[in-house]
């Protein structure tokens, strides 16, 4: 069998110049159905961290997710947060947990945010994935006290959108809410619309995870249209290949200041 080539040392030299924070990951945990690697099933936490480090990523952030259809109690949401804290306990210098909430349980969600903030120092909410957890939309009255508390605590929240108009309504009602739209989407026009939206609202940003920087010039366009502080690096690992996202950003003819902003500074400014 032909040996597998090992370019890791060469990659580390390329990436050593930058701190790279992946703002959008989903770690695998002992909970069932939280491993989202599509082709390498049963990924361990150690493998998860090793692969991100191998790609040159310094730290990562995100929620533990799984499909929860019509949850009957908040306990189903709480155990995702508990698993995220456990993962941070195992990798405290690498993984930053994101909080999960649910509009079916607004009081419990607010109490969870308070506890995670006060007792565990968590400063990030999401990625929230409504389509996987039986949300009826993100702009629903039950979520208003949750958005309000996130705004009060100056947390950042990452949301997988349904319709863009819902995000615009939330951003207008909560002008200090640090709202990160997940994914550029694979639609050219929808991407332009998302960039126009984050350009319009001071409190909005976009992470490049999921569909990713798959078109030449799209990251540069976003920085020029919306501002250097509006784009965050993210991959959606282990669903997506992190190396492709780093290469995509590096290929965009960006200045060193722009690269530093996308790779880590914008995330640090949002999450403090």
Which residue from 117, 19, 23 is spatially nearest to 61, judged by alpha carbons? 23
> Measured between alpha carbons, how far is residue 132 from residues 19, 66, 145, 159, 237 in Å?
32, 7, 22, 12, 17
Mean pLDDT of 235-262: 95
Instruction: Name the residue range of residue 111's domain.
Output: 18-271
Q: What is the pLDDT of residue 67?
A: 93
10 pLDDT band, cuts 50/70/90, is: low
pLDDT tens-place string over residues 17-70: 899 999 999 999 999 999 999 887 789 999 999 999 999 999 999 999 999 888
100 pLDDT band, cuts 50/70/90, is: very high
d(CA 104, CA 200) in angstroms, rounded, equals 30
CATH number at residue 168: 3.20.20.140
User: Residue 6 domain-assigned?
Assistant: no
User: Residue 260 domain-assigned?
Assistant: yes
Report the domain count for the chain: 1
61: DSSP letter: E
d(CA 236, CA 68) in angstroms, rounded, equals 19
User: Residue 4 domain-assigned?
Assistant: no
pLDDT tens-place string over residues 188-229: 999 999 999 999 999 999 999 999 899 999 999 999 999 999
Q: What is the pLDDT of residue 42?
A: 86
User: Residue 9 domain-assigned?
Assistant: no
Judged by DSSP in three states, 217 sits in: coil
Q: What is the pLDDT of residue 11?
A: 63
User: Residue 13 domain-assigned?
Assistant: no
User: Residue 7 domain-assigned?
Assistant: no
d(CA 211, CA 165) in angstroms, rounded, equals 20
Q: Average pLDDT over the chain, rounded to whole? A: 94
User: Residue 10 domain-assigned?
Assistant: no
Q: What is the pLDDT of residue 1?
A: 65
What lies within 8 Å, CB to CB, of 124 at 6+ separation is: 61, 96, 97, 98, 99, 155, 156, 157, 158, 271
User: Residue 100 domain-assigned?
Assistant: yes
Q: What is the pLDDT of residue 7?
A: 63
Judged by DSSP in three states, 175 sits in: coil
pLDDT tens-place string over residues 139-188: 999 999 999 999 999 999 999 998 999 999 999 999 999 999 999 998 99
pLDDT tens-place string over residues 72-96: 999 999 999 999 999 999 999 999 9
């Amino acid at each position: 069998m032909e040996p597998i080539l090992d370019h890791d040392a060469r990659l580390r030299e390329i990436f050593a110049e930058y701190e790279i924070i992946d703002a959008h990951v989903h770690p695998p945990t002992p909970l069932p159905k939280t491993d989202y690697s599509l082709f390498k099933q049963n990924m361990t936490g150690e493998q998860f961290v090793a692969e991100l480090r191998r790609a040159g990523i310094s730290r990562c952030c995100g929620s533990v997710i799984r499909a929860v259809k019509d949850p009957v109690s908040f306990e189903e949401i709480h155990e995702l947060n508990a698993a995220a804290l456990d993962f941070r306990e195992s990798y405290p210098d690498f993984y930053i947990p994101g909080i999960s909430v649910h509009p079916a349980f607004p009081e419990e969600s607010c109490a969870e945010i308070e506890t995670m903030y006060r007792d565990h120092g968590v400063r990030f909410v999401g990625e929230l994935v409504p389509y996987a957890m039986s949300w009826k939309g993100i702009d629903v009255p039950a979520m208003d006290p949750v958005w309000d508390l996130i705004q009060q605590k100056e947390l950042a929240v990452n949301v997988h959108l349904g319709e863009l108009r819902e995000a615009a309504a939330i951003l207008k009602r909560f002008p200090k809410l640090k709202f990160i739209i997940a994914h550029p989407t694979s639609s050219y026009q929808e991407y332009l619309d998302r960039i126009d939206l984050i350009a319009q609202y001071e409190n909005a940003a976009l992470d490049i995870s999921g569909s990713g920087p798959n078109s030449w010039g799209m990251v540069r366009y976003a920085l020029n249209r919306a501002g250097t502080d509006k784009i965050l690096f993210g991959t959606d690992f282990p669903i997506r290949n992190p190396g492709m996202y780093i290469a995509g950003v590096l290929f965009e003819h960006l200045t060193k200041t722009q690269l530093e902003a996308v790779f880590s500074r914008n995330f640090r400014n949002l999450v403090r």
